[in-house]
């Protein structure tokens, strides 16, 4: 179980937990995320039951919410309401530091442990392979996240089948080595807009 100050690393990103599900009685999860310049955008996705807030500390965040793209500078924030398709990326030439808040927390600590752990092993959702699709299906269906642009009812049918096939082939989206580890002093989470 993640605790405030615990760190995840993977690819060109680093995540430091600020508030966890246990700290907020499930109300929210918040973390600092540091994204190197040149990192790929997060796949466009939908959280049917979660509000997401991005608050930029330094650098420039590129975000597309509901088809509208914008740049978010230090000191600014952008909210993603539940059900809105969205993606984000580092839109600047230096490291992006932003605070992400998800309400409610659901089981997204484990989701992010999986995302970062898989990234350390070379997984990239941008690579369109059957292996990656089976991992993505396990990850998304298991955490009520869905790809934008593909009808969610179709994903609710196909993803469990692809996830089961992946598990039968020995693919796992979470391993004990993916768990967050202590080691950094975190910043105070922002006040929600």
**pLDDT of residue 34 exceeding 80:** yes
Name the residue ranges covered by the structural domains of the chain: 7-178
Partners of 101 in the β-ladder: 30, 53
Q: Which residue has the tokens 């992400």?
A: 100
Label residue 183 by pLDDT band (50, 70, 90): low
Identify the CATH homologous superfamily for domain 7-178.
Answer: Jelly Rolls (2.60.120.10)
What is the pTM (predicted TM-score) of this model?
0.88
Taking a C-beta distance cutoff of 8 angstroms, is the pair 30, 19 a contact? yes
Q: Output the CA torsion 121→122→123→126 (10° steps).
A: 170
Which candidate, 164, 135, 117, places its Cα nearest to that of 11?
Answer: 117
Q: How far is CA 36 from CA 10, 95, 115, in A?
A: 11, 5, 16
Asked whether the predicted pLDDT for residue 111 surpasses 80, the reply is yes
Helix (H) or strand (E) holding 87: strand 86-90
CA nearest neighbour of 54 among 12, 91, 22: 91
pLDDT per residue as tens digits for the range 125-173: 677 788 888 998 999 888 999 999 999 999 999 999 999 999 999 998 8
């Amino acid at each position: 179980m993640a605790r405030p100050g615990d760190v995840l690393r993977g690819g060109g990103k680093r995540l430091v937990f600020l508030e966890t599900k246990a700290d907020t009685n499930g109300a929210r999860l918040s973390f600092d995320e540091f994204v190197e310049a040149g990192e790929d955008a997060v796949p466009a996705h939908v959280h049917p039951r979660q509000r997401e807030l991005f608050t930029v500390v330094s650098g420039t965040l590129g975000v597309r919410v509901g088809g509208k793209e914008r740049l978010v500078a230090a000191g600014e924030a952008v909210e993603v309401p539940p059900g809105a398709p969205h993606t984000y990326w580092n839109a600047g030439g230096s490291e992006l530091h932003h605070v992400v808040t998800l309400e409610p927390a659901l089981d997204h600590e484990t989701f992010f442990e999986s995302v970062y752990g898989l990234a350390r092993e070379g997984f990239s959702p941008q690579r369109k392979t059957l292996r990656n699709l089976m991992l993505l299906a396990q990850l998304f269906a298991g955490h009520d996240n869905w790809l934008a642009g593909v009808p969610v009812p179709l994903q609710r049918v196909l993803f469990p089948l692809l996830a089961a096939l992946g598990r039968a082939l020995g693919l796992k989206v979470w391993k004990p080595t993916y768990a967050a580890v202590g080691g950094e002093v975190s910043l105070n989470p922002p006040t929600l807009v």
